[in-house]
């Protein structure tokens, strides 16, 4: 198959590109600079510019582009977070709508779109999006797929938990306190903390791309959801380190602002759409997913 990747220079983009090439698929990387390799095509999503003819006849367009949400959400940076996701998705959707053969269009999305703190509520793809900045971003992000859908493309939005891999930036930040012996739960620790192994994330993307029955929102998180307390205990065990330095939620709120809800807000998400279509996880529990990440 021929894949077009936006965000191919990020951690997940590089991992997906390696995985696809290793299996013999053709990839085209979208870049914002002058192309430096035969498999690169220049685009300018801020202006909606991408030459459809330069893509040839792709089977799948994948958007993994988006500004880091782990920085302070100033008014200016909120706009950057939003536009970096919406403009890239909208540009790809517009191109998909113009291609003679409608490709599959997949965009990364945010599991934080369900809301800031949902307690024990089970969240499937049929659950309503919540309130707050990230929920609003997810509505616009996924809504930008609509022109491609109307033109006949199958579209999907991957609502992904924290991807676990020793080289993943988010996982490195989470595990750093444990590596120096200062790890512990975040806040109360009772909140559900959606995660997934890199291996299963890659397999899920490929599954969505290849299975015609899968469309719309797709949760990518462990089928056995873990609380933050369970996650931190498993991480400490996997690293052979203690987990006795809890971080009070009030301090996190002062330091991180609204972003704190990505860490202490409870999201008990289930990958119902994947599983109902026959997808199985290689690493379905937090212990196995962490073992895979560290090995």
Domains defined along the chain, listed by start: 2-294 (3.40.50.720)
15/21 Cα distance (integer angstroms):
10
pLDDT at 155 over 80: yes
Give the predicted TM-score (pTM) of the model: 0.96
- CA-closest candidate to residue 20, choices 32, 8, 30: 8
pLDDT at 255 over 80: no
143/137 Cα distance (integer angstroms):
10
On whether the CB atoms of residues 199 and 292 are closer than 8 A, the answer is: yes
Count CB neighbours of 38 within 10 A. 7
Confidence label for 64 from pLDDT (cuts 50, 70 and 90): very high
- CA-closest candidate to residue 274, choices 144, 139, 161, 136: 161
| Rg (alpha carbons) of the chain, rounded to whole number | 19
On whether the CB atoms of residues 271 and 143 are closer than 8 A, the answer is: no
- The model's pLDDT over 37-62, given as tens digits with 9 standing for 90+, comes to 999 999 999 999 999 999 999 999 99
pLDDT at 72: 86
pLDDT at 254 over 80: no
CA distance to 65, 96, 148, 152, per residue, from 101 (Å): 24, 8, 11, 9
22/221 Cα distance (integer angstroms):
24
- The model's pLDDT over 97-153, given as tens digits with 9 standing for 90+, comes to 999 999 999 999 999 999 999 999 999 999 999 999 999 999 999 999 999 999 999
155 DSSP assignment: E
pLDDT at 256 over 90: no
pLDDT at 290 over 80: yes
Helices (H), 196-285: 198-210, 228-239, 249-256, 261-264, 272-276
pLDDT at 251: 83
SS3 217: strand
Confidence label for 250 from pLDDT (cuts 50, 70 and 90): confident
pLDDT at 179: 93
pLDDT at 284 over 90: yes
| Location of structure tokens 């979208």 | 30
């Amino acid at each position: 198959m021929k894949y077009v990747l936006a965000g191919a220079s990020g951690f997940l983009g590089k991992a997906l590109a390696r995985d696809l090439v290793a299996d013999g698929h053709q990839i085209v990387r979208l870049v914002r600079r002058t192309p430096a390799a035969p498999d690169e095509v220049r685009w300018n999503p801020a202006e909606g510019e991408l030459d459809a003819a330069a893509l040839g006849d792709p089977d799948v367009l994948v958007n993994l582009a988006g500004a880091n949400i782990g920085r302070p959400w100033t008014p200016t940076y909120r706009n950057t977070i939003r536009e970096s996701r919406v403009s890239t998705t909208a540009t790809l959707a517009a191109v998909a709508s113009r291609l003679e053969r409608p490709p599959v269009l997949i965009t990364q999305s945010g599991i934080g779109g369900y809301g800031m703190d949902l307690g024990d509520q089970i969240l499937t793809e049929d659950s309503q999006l919540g309130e707050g900045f990230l929920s609003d971003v997810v509505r616009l992000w996924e809504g930008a797929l609509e022109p491609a859908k109307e033109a006949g493309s199958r579209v999907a939005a991957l609502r992904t938990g924290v991807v676990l891999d020793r080289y993943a930036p988010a996982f490195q930040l989470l595990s750093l306190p444990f590596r120096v012996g200062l790890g512990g739960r975040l806040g109360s620790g009772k909140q559900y903390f959606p995660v997934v192994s890199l291996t299963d994330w890659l397999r899920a993307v490929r599954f969505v791309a290849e299975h015609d029955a899968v469309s719309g929102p797709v949760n990518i998180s462990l089928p056995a959801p873990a609380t933050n307390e369970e996650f931190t205990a498993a991480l400490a065990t996997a690293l052979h380190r203690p987990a006795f330095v809890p971080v009070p939620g009030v301090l996190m709120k002062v330091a991180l602002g609204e972003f704190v809800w990505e860490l202490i807000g409870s999201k008990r998400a289930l990958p119902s759409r994947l599983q109902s279509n026959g997808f199985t996880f290689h690493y379905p529990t937090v212990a196995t997913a962490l073992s895979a990440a560290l090995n």
